């Protein structure tokens, strides 16, 4: 189940984008007080918010601080304009991480969040401050994600978009049936799907960052071939782990997922010879 935190109804004055301080990206819902050896920045799926990772706090060991990322236009940043390109989000988040990070840190992203995490990893690597590990979930490799065949969100009616959201299985039926809730949710989903629809892969040298890829064995949107293609995007360690379930497999397999994420953060993401490992 997807849990979101919403402020009062969005006002009409949402087109004026106010520059947010770096701290806006990291709301105060983190792990218990440290000290920590490392941080894990967690990026949400389309339509999600930082609250998707609220239950992760304290579950990756005493050495790892979980830092949920809040994107513009939701939760504590509700009054801000919704971002509609991966470049805008990745630029802002990379700058925010660079402003506060001087130790070991890694990235986790599910679905759209995986795409954004990849772009942040490239920006931080180019600045000489790469992540220690990149963990991506439920997303085909960016070169393939940029060539998807589905209809763009701009062509979808509200009813069609709601059906697409419902098919993913993470939004409760009572939320989908609530006119008031969908008035709040649909603009967020439209903006996030536009992020994915407008994404264009830029060919760059492979990351020198270990990459762990996680996915649901029955996820039609992220088949094994698409997940396996991440191996070409890094010259470092690569691992692929498959879990029972569909696109939101991690909701039902969270303990197992967290074990894999913890192993990656602690340096356990060794190559598996390119063969998917079923958990």
As a whole number of angstroms, the distance between CA 261 and CA 109 comes to 11
Q: Is 207 strand, coil or helix?
A: strand
- Of 111, 125, 137, 228, which is the active-site residue? 111
Reading the block at residue 234, the tokens are 């890094």
**Residue 134: how many CB atoms within 10 A of its CB?**
29
CB 86 within 8 A of CB 48: no
Which residues in 166-187 are b (16+ Cβ under 10 Å) and which e? eebebbeeebeeeeebbebbee
Query: Is 198 among the catalytic positions?
Result: no
The DSSP letter of residue 106 is: E
Quote the CA–CA distance of 93 and 203 in Å, as a whole number: 21
Rounded distance between C-alpha atoms, residue 34 and residue 260, angstroms: 22
Query: Which residues form the catalytic set?
Result: 111
């Amino acid at each position: 189940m997807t849990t979101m935190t919403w402020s009062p109804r969005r006002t009409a004055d949402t087109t004026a984008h106010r520059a947010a301080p770096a701290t806006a990206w990291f709301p105060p819902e983190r792990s218990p007080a440290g000290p920590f050896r490392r941080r894990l920045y967690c990026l949400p799926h389309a339509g999600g918010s930082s609250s998707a990772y609220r239950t992760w706090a304290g579950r990756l060991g005493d050495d790892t601080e979980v830092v949920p990322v809040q994107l513009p236009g939701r939760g504590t940043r509700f009054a801000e304009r919704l971002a509609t390109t991966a470049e805008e989000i990745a630029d802002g988040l990379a700058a925010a991480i660079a402003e506060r990070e001087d130790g070991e840190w890694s990235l986790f992203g599910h679905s759209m969040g995986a795409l954004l995490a990849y772009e942040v990893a490239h920006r931080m690597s180019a600045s000489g401050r790469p992540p220690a590990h990149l963990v991506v979930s439920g997303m085909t490799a960016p070169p393939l994600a940029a060539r998807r065949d589905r209809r763009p969100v701009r062509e979808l009616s509200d009813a069609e978009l709601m059906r697409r959201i419902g098919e993913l299985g993470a939004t409760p039926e009572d939320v989908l049936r609530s006119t008031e809730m969908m008035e709040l949710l649909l603009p967020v989903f439209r903006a996030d799907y536009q992020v994915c629809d407008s994404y264009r892969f830029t060919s760059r040298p492979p990351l020198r960052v270990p990459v762990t890829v996680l996915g649901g064995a029955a996820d039609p949107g992220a088949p094994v071939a698409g997940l396996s293609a991440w191996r070409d995007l890094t010259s470092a360690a690569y691992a692929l782990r498959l879990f029972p379930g569909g696109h939101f497999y991690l909701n039902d397999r969270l303990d197992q997922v967290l074990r894999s994420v913890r192993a990656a953060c602690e340096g356990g993401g060794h190559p598996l010879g390119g063969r998917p490992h079923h958990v």
